[in-house]
A and B are shown apart, each in its own frame.
Chain A
Amino acid sequence: MSCNCGGNNCDKNSRRDFLLTSLLATAALAGCSDKKNPFTPEGEVIPSGEKVKLLSVDGEIIEMDKAFLKPVPDLPQLSNSEERKGIAGKKFVMVIDLARCKNLGKCREACNHAHQVHPGQNWIKVLGMEDSDHTAPYWQPTTCMHCDEPPCVKVCPVDATFKRQDGIVLIDSDRCIGCRFCMAACPYSTRVFNWEEPILIKEVADDQEVVGHHYSCETSTPQKKGTVGKCDFCPDMARKGELPHCVSACPNGVFFFGDMNEDSVTNGAETFQFSQLIKDKAGYRLMEDLGTKPRVYYLPPVNRSFPYESGLENEKQEDKKAN
Chain B
Amino acid sequence: MENIAALSNEQITRDLLPQKFGRRGMIWTGSLIVLCLVGAYAYYRQLKYGLVVTNMRDYVSWGIYISNFVFFVAISLVGSLITAIFRLANVKWATPLTRIAEIIAVSAIVFASLIIIVDMGRPERFMNLFIHGRIQSPIMWDVIVIGTYFFISCLLLYFPLLPDLKILISVKEKTGKALNKLYRFQGSFWKGTKAQFRISDKAINILCIIIIPVAFCIHTVTSWLFATTYRPGWDSTNFGAYFISGAFLVGAGGVVVAMYVFRKAYHLDKYITPKHFEKMGRIVVLLALLYLYFNINEYLVPAFKMKKPEEAHLAQLFTGEYALLFWFAIMIGMIIPIIMLVFTKGRRPLPVFIAGVMVVIGAWFKRYLIVTPTLLHPFLPMQNVPESYHHYFPSWEEWAIAIGSLSGALLIITLFARIYPIIPIHETITEQHEEVEKK
Contact = CB atoms under 8 A, between A and B. Distances in A.
A193 B52 CA distance: 10
Give the one of B59, B120, B230 with max A CB within 10 A: B230
B176 interface: no
Given A154-B137, A157-B139, A180 B121 contact: yes
B386 interface: yes
A6 B122 CA distance: 24
Interface in B347-372: none
Contacts of A197: 49-50
Contact of B52 (A157, A159, A187, A196): A196
B263 interface: no
A177 B381 contact: no
Contacts of B140: 157
A126 B132 contact: no
B213 interface: no
Contact of A157 (B137, B226, B380, B386): B137
B129 A194 contact: no
A183 B56 CA distance: 12
B129 A158 contact: yes
B51 A155 contact: no
Contacts of B394: none
A287 B228 contact: no
Interface string B105-141: 0000000000000011111011011011110111110
Contact of B58 (A157, A183, A323): A183
A62 interface: no
Contacts of B381: 127-129
Contacts of B138: 155, 181
Interface in A276-323: 287, 290, 318, 322-323
Nearest to A188: B380
Interface in B44-83: 49-52, 54, 56-59, 61-62
B59 A189 contact: yes
A290 B139 contact: no
B125 A181 contact: no
A14 B140 CA distance: 36
A322 B50 contact: no
Contact of A192 (B58, B121, B225, B378): B58
Contacts of B384: 108, 122, 125-127, 318, 322
A184 B231 contact: yes
Contact of A227 (B57, B121, B228, B229): B121
A185 B228 contact: yes
Nearest to A184: B229
Contacts of B382: 189
A209 B409 CA distance: 52
Nearest to B57: A195
Contacts of B129: 157-158, 177
A39 B343 CA distance: 70
B143 to A, nearest CB: 8
B11 interface: no
B50 A195 contact: yes
Contact of A154 (B59, B132, B136, B383): B136
A124 to B, nearest CB: 8
Contact of B229 (A151, A158, A196): A151
A189 B139 contact: no
Interface in B201-242: 225-226, 228-231
A154 B140 CA distance: 12
Interface string A162-198: 0000000000000111111101110111011111110
Contacts of A175: 125, 128, 132
B383 A193 contact: no
A189 B125 contact: no
A176 B122 contact: yes
Given A120-B386, A125-B383, A158 B133 contact: yes
A155 B58 contact: no
Contact of A226 (B61, B121, B231): B121
Nearest to A140: B380
B120 A177 contact: yes
B62 A227 contact: no
A178 B121 contact: yes
Given A157-B140, A177-B126, A322-B385, A187 B230 contact: yes
Give the one of A159, A160, A177 with max B CB within 10 A: A177
A26 interface: no
B51 A185 contact: no
Contacts of B402: none
A121 interface: yes
Give the one of A128, A179, A290 with max B CB within 10 A: A179
Contacts of B54: 195
Interface string A128-140: 1100000000000
A322 B387 contact: yes
B379 interface: yes
B139 A179 contact: yes
Contact of A181 (B49, B139, B386): B139
Contacts of B121: 176-180, 193-194, 225-228
Nearest to A226: B121
Contacts of B157: none
Given A157-B134, A194-B121, A195-B51, A185 B385 contact: no
Given A178-B121, A179-B139, A322-B384, A196 B50 contact: yes
Contact of B386 (A108, A177, A185, A322): A322
Nearest to A195: B52
B332 interface: no
Contact of A180 (B50, B61, B143, B383): B61
A140 to B, nearest CB: 8
Contacts of B59: 189
Interface of A: 108, 120-122, 125-129, 142, 151, 154-160, 175-181, 183-185, 187-189, 191-197, 225-228, 287, 290, 318, 322-323
18 contacts: A120-B385, A122-B385, A126-B384, A127-B380, A155-B138, A158-B131, A175-B132, A177-B125, A178-B120, A183-B61, A184-B61, A195-B50, A195-B56, A196-B49, A197-B50, A225-B50, A226-B50, A323-B387
Given A127-B380, A195-B57, A226-B50, 6 more contacts: A125-B385, A154-B137, A155-B229, A181-B225, A197-B50, A227-B122
